[in-house]
Copies of this chain bind each other. A is one copy, B any other.
């Protein structure tokens, strides 16, 4: 499914020995768009490395809410799975595939061994922790300090960054769910943004102009 060159491209910071270890030990897995990879409360025994596709990470509310936290992209690892894996804890988040995904599963035991053995793995793990922690703190900012209009802009910006394009394939209902508000509110705010010239609205698609 992957050869060393591929892996080296996706995880450029990994040392050659580490790449070799991954090659020989890892389990490959793929998922289709729409699938839920991980559910809240599920036990985690592996660390996940994404090699292809896109995953969205959500925090689930008691009443079925699905609050969007962040994207997982190729070359990234699931911080929650790393933290939990080291102690066989349950997942605090839900992960849903957006674009068909291929990933590598690293068993708990290896994850720990590598921390001691490979400097580049150690640094990757800490980098993952740090960037995710910071991203979650930014999410806290957006809900703690900002009103829905700014939160919506923040949301759209992050989605544009993730897909690397200006045309977002999102319905108003989808956005509303992921921001834990109602469709009408999103429709109205989007309409205002369109009037301000920030974007153009189409069916199932938002074209950013900025």
Contacts and interface: CB of A to CB of B under 8 A. Distances in A.
Chain A contact surface mostly: helix
Nearest to A180: B144
**Copies per complex?**
2
A11 interface: no
Interface in A37-77: 59, 61-63, 65, 67, 69
A2 B137 CA distance: 34
Contacts of A140: 59, 67, 69, 136, 139-140, 143
A97 interface: no
Contact of A86 (B80, B86, B89, B126): B126
Given A139-B140, A144-B67, A130 B89 contact: yes
A133 B133 contact: yes
Chain A: interface residue count, which band?
35 or more
Contacts of A115: 115, 122
A65 B133 contact: no
Contacts of A132: 133
A141 B84 contact: no
Nearest to A132: B133
A163 to B, nearest CB: 23
A13 interface: no
B61 A144 contact: yes
B145 A83 contact: no
A116 interface: yes
List of 3 A-B pairs having minimum Cβ-Cβ separation, nearest first: A61-B145, A83-B130, A67-B144
Given A65-B144, A67-B141, A67-B144, 7 more contacts: A63-B145, A67-B145, A79-B133, A83-B129, A115-B122, A139-B140, A143-B143
Interface of A: 59, 61-63, 65, 67, 69, 79-80, 83-84, 86-87, 89, 92-93, 115-116, 122, 126-127, 129-130, 132-134, 136-137, 139-141, 143-145, 180
